[in-house]
Structure 1
Amino acid sequence: MTTIETPAPQPSGTLSSGNRLLTLASRYGTFVAFLALILFNVAVTPNFLSLQTLNVNLTQVATIVIVATGMTLVIATGGIDLSVGSLMAIAGALAPMIFMGQFWPVENMALAVALAFLLPIAAAALFGLFNGFLVTRFSIQPIIATLVLFIAGRGIAQVMTNGNLQVFKNEGFQFIALGRIAGVPAQVLLMIVIVAAAFAMIRYTVIGRQIIAVGGNEKAARLTGIPVKRVKLFVYMISGALAGVAGLIVVARNSASDANLVGLGMELDAIAAVAVGGTLLTGGRANIVGTVLGALVIQLVRYTLLANGVPDAAALIVKAGLIVTAVFIQQRASKH
């Protein structure tokens, strides 16, 4: 008699080779992509290893990383913030108006410059708090709540400046974008400080654990005594403040403030960096280091295409492909 042997069932908890590959891709895919881009550019792109190229890429990615860090915290709670680009425009419009004396006569320029840093960031943080208020007080879905300022915020910035370009020059204010400390661009050092602070907060503090808990299971978090509303207000406020910082860097770098262009599309770059970096868009996880790598991958893709004669529009298509791939891998990996 012929016997048919049936394969022994896999032990519980083991993964098939396909599932194992998805898991590895979700964990290390961003780093592998980052390494592949570097190796490709080393081999193909002239002068890629020069200090000038390093400086260009780091200064271009700094604002994306700063905004994406705040976005990571919001997404970790299960939310999203579409208003960051518009808040950059508001902060970028407000700062020059302060030290150029458009609100009151400037008598002490040092004080005016200090206020040009502090007030726009505070204003952006308050707008972020407004987003959080809509989400927590009225239970409006985050994508709708932040869409309000996505639309109205840029209009506010345009009204503030009458839609005009504000050209200025002030070395004290522009140090945030053009200055160097020990040879390192000030904006890059600021980016590192912000990323390190966010990483430490998520990893080692109570509020960091609460952020993850709220995104993982909001109902359970509430039942365990976590102040869910305050946590959400906090992350939206931080997201707004960091958007304000990024807005100041952009206008300081350009020596001009254009409410029509500052922060335009930044919300998409930030969300892309978070998604590519491995933070689940459904909440419950905050991969700060992954977000930085995701932003670097997005920047390197754009640089690689431009350096090799491919139109900038192609970078948008590749960026969209990266987001779809990242989300697909996350969803498939989370099911196993």
Structure 2
Amino acid sequence: MTLLDTTLKQGSRISPLVLISRYGTFVAFVALILFNIAVTPHFLSWQTFNVNLTQVATIVIVATGMTLVISTGGIDLSVGSLMAISGALAPMTFMGKLFPIENTALAVALAFVIPVAVAALLGAFNGLLVTRFSIQPIVATLVLFIAGRGIAQVMTNGNLQVFKTPSFQFIAMGNLFGIPAQVVLMLIIAALAYALIRYTVLGTQILAVGGNERAARLTGIPVKRIKIFVYMISGALAGLAGLVVIARNSASDANVVGLGMELDAIAAVAVGGSLLSGGRANIVGTLIGALVIQLVRYTLLANGVPDAAALIVKAGLIILAVFIQQRADKV
């Protein structure tokens, strides 16, 4: 039973701020769609639908991992840099720069496995810094935020890696039942994360850690292992998103892959209604929040507003979301 259901059953009034906190993102999403239908030419075309979904796919993939981290009371600033590392490793693998592989299918398979595994291990490293050395998450993940992109640039000597490998690029360029493969991947990841949080003991423990870490520890919940787990998942999903980006671009550039993604992911989580202080994870909200951010950008561009304005609006959305959360929690 939701807070709204409980309040209505008791016959008491519910604060407008609570309603906005719970349902404001969805209302904004619907309002943006209706506005674009009325104002933006060709908004209802398949091309527009496809562009917006493919643009938002990587944000949702990364933001799903970010939601899990934030729900434990943490933050992960390293996701963009981990995307760059993963994006640098993949071409090096299937092009034989890491080690010679004559079997093309095996090379492509390893190009998926190795980068994601490395990103997951680096995510676990973030978790170790937070748990073993008691470093604040924003500082712990700042290490790879800075060093990670440098590692990717050193790996590639700062050079652009151009490729044309259809079997690898299917993750971004292919279609499944007429739906872009990256969108299918996005929905699968969001559905798995939703099931984890909603229906598993582990999901309950993740929220318990973010809600009250001391109480969670006293009840026997393995707080440190759970924190390492969510950072590892965040790293793995960032690595996967990096593969989608380079597959879509047919090139890997360590200088730009994942640049600013940490901000997009945090914005999607904040706008989606998950508490930035931890204890609540709204996976569906994160998905809708990412769509809202993408639609805001699309709406501005389609109506002749410079892209720089979208950054200002995005910052405003984050401030508004956090403000509403804080005020709603005091009601």
The answer to whether the superposition gives a TM-score over 0.5 is yes
> Which residue among 88, 93, 102 is the counterpart of 1:98?
93
**Pairwise mapping of residues 52-91 of structure 1 onto structure 2 (< 5 A)?**
52-91=47-86
Task: Give distance in 2, aligned partners of 1:80 and 1:309.
Answer: 35
SS of the residue 1:169 aligns to:
coil
Give 1:124 deviation, angstroms. 0.2
Task: Give distance in 1, aligned partners of 2:50 and 2:98.
Answer: 36
| Residue in structure 1 matched with residue 23 of structure 2 by the alignment | 28
Kindly provide the amino acid, as one letter, of the partner of residue 200 in structure 2.
T
Task: Give distance in 2, aligned partners of 1:270 and 1:83.
Answer: 11
Task: Give distance in 2, aligned partners of 1:106 and 1:253.
Answer: 24
Kindly provide the amino acid, as one letter, of the partner of residue 274 in structure 2.
T
| Residue in structure 1 matched with residue 317 of structure 2 by the alignment | 322
Give 1:221 deviation, angstroms. 0.1
**Pairwise mapping of residues 199-278 of structure 1 onto structure 2 (< 5 A)?**
199-278=194-273
Kindly provide the amino acid, as one letter, of the partner of residue 179 in structure 2.
V
Task: Give distance in 2, aligned partners of 1:28 and 1:199.
Answer: 18
Give 1:13 deviation, angstroms. 9.6
| 1:246-301: CA deviation from partner (whole Å, max 9, x where unpaired) | 00000000000000000000000000000000000000000000000000000000
1:130 has 2:125 as partner: yes
| 1:18-70: CA deviation from partner (whole Å, max 9, x where unpaired) | x7110110011000100010000000000000001000000000000000000
| 1:52-101: CA deviation from partner (whole Å, max 9, x where unpaired) | 10000000000000000000000000000000000000000000000011
Give 1:103 deviation, angstroms. 1.5
Task: Give distance in 2, aligned partners of 1:178 and 1:14.
Answer: 52
Give 1:214 deviation, angstroms. 0.1
| Residue in structure 2 matched with residue 282 of structure 1 by the alignment | 277
Kindly provide the amino acid, as one letter, of the partner of residue 191 in structure 1.
M
Task: Give distance in 2, aligned partners of 1:293 and 1:256.
Answer: 29
Task: Give distance in 2, aligned partners of 1:13 and 1:139.
Answer: 45
> What 5-or-longer segments of structure 1 have no aligned partner?
1-11
Task: Give distance in 1, aligned partners of 2:187 and 2:138.
Answer: 28
Task: Give distance in 1, aligned partners of 2:101 and 2:72.
Answer: 42
> What 5-or-longer segments of structure 2 have no aligned partner?
1-9
Task: Give distance in 2, aligned partners of 1:48 and 1:103.
Answer: 45
| Residue in structure 1 matched with residue 182 of structure 2 by the alignment | 187
Task: Give distance in 1, aligned partners of 2:260 and 2:11.
Answer: 42
Give 1:135 deviation, angstroms. 0.2
Give 1:14 deviation, angstroms. 4.6
| Residue in structure 2 matched with residue 3 of structure 1 by the alignment | none
**Matched residue count:** 322
Give 1:106 deviation, angstroms. 2.6
| Residue in structure 2 matched with residue 8 of structure 1 by the alignment | none
| Residue in structure 2 matched with residue 294 of structure 1 by the alignment | 289
Q: TM-score, length-normalised on structure 2? A: 0.96
RMSD: 1.0
Kindly provide the amino acid, as one letter, of the partner of residue 24 in structure 2.
G
Kindly provide the amino acid, as one letter, of the partner of residue 21 in structure 2.
S
1:160 has 2:155 as partner: yes
| Residue in structure 1 matched with residue 32 of structure 2 by the alignment | 37
> Which residue among 171, 175, 179 is the counterpart of 1:176?
171
Task: Give distance in 2, aligned partners of 1:235 and 1:328.
Answer: 26
SS of the residue 1:279 aligns to:
coil
SS of the residue 1:74 aligns to:
helix
Give 1:105 deviation, angstroms. 1.8
Task: Give distance in 1, aligned partners of 2:37 and 2:329.
Answer: 35
SS of the residue 1:280 aligns to:
coil
SS of the residue 1:267 aligns to:
helix
| Residue in structure 2 matched with residue 141 of structure 1 by the alignment | 136
Task: Give distance in 1, aligned partners of 2:21 and 2:99.
Answer: 53
SS of the residue 2:96 aligns to:
coil
Higher Rg of the two aligned structures: 1
SS of the residue 2:280 aligns to:
coil
Q: TM-score, length-normalised on structure 1? A: 0.95
1:310 has 2:327 as partner: no
SS of the residue 1:284 aligns to:
coil
Kindly provide the amino acid, as one letter, of the partner of residue 315 in structure 1.
A
Calculate percent identity across the aligned residue pairs. 81
> Which structure 1 residue ranges, 4+ long, deviate > 3 Å from structure 2?
12-15
| Residue in structure 2 matched with residue 7 of structure 1 by the alignment | none
Task: Give distance in 2, aligned partners of 1:324 and 1:298.
Answer: 13
